[in-house]
Structure 1
Amino acid sequence: MNPTHNIKRGVSLYSYQYETFLRKMTLDDCIAHAAGLGARGIEVVSEQSFTNFPDVPQAEVDGFFASLEKHGAYAQCHDMFLDTKLYKHRKLNVDEMVASMQRDLRFAHRLGCKTMRIIVNTPPEVVVACVPLAEELDIRMGIEVHSPFHFDHPWILRYTELTRATGSDHVGYIPDMGMYIKDYPPVFRDRFLRMGATPKIVEFILEAHKARVLPDYVLMDIRKMGANPVDLQMAETLRHNIWSNPRRMLEFMPWIFHIHAKFYEIDETGREPSIPYDEIIPVLIEGGYTGHLSSEYEGQRHIEDAFEVDGREQVKRQQQMFARLLGETV
């Protein structure tokens, strides 16, 4: 570990979703691969990794711990999802949402996770109601600040206001690096071209993204250019793939427990062409961040129509990039 920081490396098992779904990798395979890269902090998506969640057989939990021990890894974060609709005719009420989140806190505790990712659509009142249980179980809850949200978005500001008022150190943030899309992802561009996007309109959208033009204006302009449905679909992605200044994290650093290190590809040069990790990691070091950088590969869905997905290779490349940027001796 570099003496100038105490940032740790991990992997979200979400990165292996393609291989897991196709039964190319078992849970043990996923843990072995991550730990073998020096990324020993394991982030769990329970619906992906265990059967019959939340009523997971104890034998599977025991197997999870056996794999962690065998490969020198440890459970670090549990990703919770809040299904807000109980039935087609109504949404969950607040008490039901609290019960759902408390269920996930208990499952995170069962897995030995000390951090739980709160999906961004979770009402802050629900999080506040779960603070006592989180403190009892010693699990830090972090809302995922996920694009198109950012630290100055009204939803996140309201979350900040209500959760800070609790005075608890068990509630905070998990920034997702997908809110730092500095350049439009090449895998997105290439997929839209394969789908039939108009090359000159694609170039217009790329330039508009670089210039930070509001998506509504881009859509208006490309309609005048004769955009087809695929062109319009590509332009709509500008709403979600935002650029926010990474230095904004500095003010919130005392409450940042975990980092979702989103990436769409690591190219042959060892870089993420759309997310500037060479700018992001120095901010984390400057801010004294001591949590994990958890690889979250999401490029598979953008290439699977034309190329063989290799999540293992992509995670490996990102972890090698992290080791270099963190100054590790490997």
Structure 2
Amino acid sequence: MANVKTGITLFSLGTPYLKGELDLEGVIRTAAELGAEGYEIVAAQMIPSYPYVTDEFVEFIEKCREKYGIGPICYSANMDRGMLRDRDLTEDEMVARAITDIISANKLGCTVMREQYLLSPHGLERIEPYAKSYNVHVGIEIHNPESPITQSILDYVEVIEQTGSKYIGFVPDFGCFATKPNKPYWDRALAAGATVQQLEKCSQLRYDDVPMEEAMKIMESDIEKCPALGGALNSMYGFVQFKKDCKAELEGLKRIMPYCFEMHGKCHYVDENLHEVSIPYEEIVPVIAESDYSGYIVTEYEDEGGYDSIEQTTRHVAMVKKLLR
């Protein structure tokens, strides 16, 4: 059976952090107060010397660990392929950045690193010796619109299985299992004048797998009257896609479970009954609980709707713990 712990990515508390309501120590303290057993640090957002880690920062993190009882369990790296004005980074340059991130993760004591799928399967294979040397398990984040059964992810599976390495794998993001429209985008469109009927028509087009260009043409006259409807429809074909059900994706998750180092517990809105309205946690968590997975489900609140981030993060942690009982 699984050995699952609950954690929080500090990204969940990014809004109060960026507003200056919480400093980094306050964010770590709050994560501990909310019941996190460990946290993922978003390196580019919260490490002043990123992509490097100074001795002074390590000392700060260790002092916070002593005070609040939790430390970083995952280093969330950022593969900024477009950081140059005139061109994208080459694979060699991205591999070099990933190696730097592995070294920084190790310095912070993290044995897991979240990498983005801008790094190719071949690039992941190239960094494997460094991951092994520094004892950092590098997981490619499986993020909506990708899923455990899309070809781009299966290409990584092929490399992982060919190498037989225990140091390269995945960090699945639960957003890829969404079965209902994103509530913040839906509510934003309603506030801008869209009707429930129009939004339901948009969501049905997405459920029916109508191509995006065709869906836009079908809704063209409605979008002209309410431009926000176009934004909502566009989002349904972007990073907040959803399907009628996620059975195939969950079967795919079962296959790659031996290669998973951490789980991103994505949430957009958790209601007062501890239910995420678009992502079927009641189906996802049992799959993980019944596996041999040993690691964290890390709460990742996507602050898009203006809800209270601390309340939403609190609800999500409570929801996961409830489902794990």
Q: With structure 1 as the length reference, what TM-score do the two structures score?
A: 0.90
Residue 311 of structure 1 is matched in structure 2 by 309
Asked whether 1:16 is paired with 2:20, we answer: no
**Aligned positions, number:** 318
Asked whether 1:302 is paired with 2:300, we answer: no
Instruction: Describe the superposition over 1:206-257 as per-residue Cα deviations: whole angstroms up to 9, x where unpaired.
Output: 3334555544443232125554432222111111323343232111111111
C-alpha contact 1:261 1:294 (8 A) present in aligned 2? yes
Residue 251 of structure 2 is matched in structure 1 by 247
Asked whether 1:156 is paired with 2:142, we answer: no
Aligned counterparts of 2:235 and 2:216: Cα–Cα separation in 1? 11
Aligned counterparts of 1:63 and 1:144: Cα–Cα separation in 2? 28
| More divergent stretch after superposition (226-235 vs 135-144) | 226-235
C-alpha contact 2:144 2:175 (8 A) present in aligned 1? yes
Aligned counterparts of 2:210 and 2:62: Cα–Cα separation in 1? 49
Residue 64 of structure 2 is matched in structure 1 by 67
State the Cα RMSD in Å: 1.9
Give the unaligned 5+ runs of structure 1: 304-308
| Paired letter, 1:87 | L
Asked whether 1:48 is paired with 2:45, we answer: yes
Residue 115 of structure 1 is matched in structure 2 by 112
Q: How does 1:113-152 map to 2 (within 5 A)?
A: 113-152=110-149
Aligned counterparts of 1:217 and 1:317: Cα–Cα separation in 2? 38
Aligned counterparts of 1:57 and 1:226: Cα–Cα separation in 2? 51
Aligned counterparts of 1:7 and 1:220: Cα–Cα separation in 2? 46
C-alpha contact 1:215 1:238 (8 A) present in aligned 2? no
Shift of 1:108: 0.5
Residue 280 of structure 1 is matched in structure 2 by 284
Aligned counterparts of 1:251 and 1:159: Cα–Cα separation in 2? 13
Pick from 229, 232, 236: which aligns with 1:238?
Answer: 236
Pick from 25, 29, 35: which aligns with 2:22?
Answer: 25
SS at match of 1:82: coil
Q: Percent same amino acid at aligned positions?
A: 30
C-alpha contact 2:192 2:228 (8 A) present in aligned 1? yes
| Paired letter, 1:261 | G
Pick from 227, 230, 245: which aligns with 1:229?
Answer: 227
C-alpha contact 2:7 2:38 (8 A) present in aligned 1? yes
| More divergent stretch after superposition (272-281 vs 194-203) | 194-203
Asked whether 1:259 is paired with 2:253, we answer: no
Asked whether 1:100 is paired with 2:97, we answer: yes
| More divergent stretch after superposition (136-145 vs 286-295) | 286-295
Give the unaligned 5+ runs of structure 2: none
Distance of aligned partners of 1:224 and 1:318 in 2 relative to their CA distance in 1, 3 Å threshold: same
Aligned counterparts of 1:113 and 1:187: Cα–Cα separation in 2? 33
| Paired letter, 2:57 | E
Asked whether 1:170 is paired with 2:174, we answer: no
Shift of 1:275: 0.7
Shift of 1:326: 0.8
Aligned counterparts of 1:8 and 1:281: Cα–Cα separation in 2? 12
Pick from 290, 294, 297: which aligns with 1:290?
Answer: 294
| Paired letter, 2:25 | D
Shift of 1:134: 0.3
Shift of 1:39: 1.5
Q: With structure 2 as the length reference, what TM-score do the two structures score?
A: 0.92
Asked whether 1:189 is paired with 2:186, we answer: yes
Aligned counterparts of 1:11 and 1:216: Cα–Cα separation in 2? 38
Asked whether 1:207 is paired with 2:204, we answer: yes
| Paired letter, 1:100 | R
Distance of aligned partners of 1:85 and 1:206 in 2 relative to their CA distance in 1, 3 Å threshold: closer
Instruction: Describe the superposition over 1:135-184 as per-residue Cα deviations: whole angstroms up to 9, x where unpaired.
Output: 00111111001111112222112222223222211011111001111111
Aligned counterparts of 2:175 and 2:15: Cα–Cα separation in 1? 20
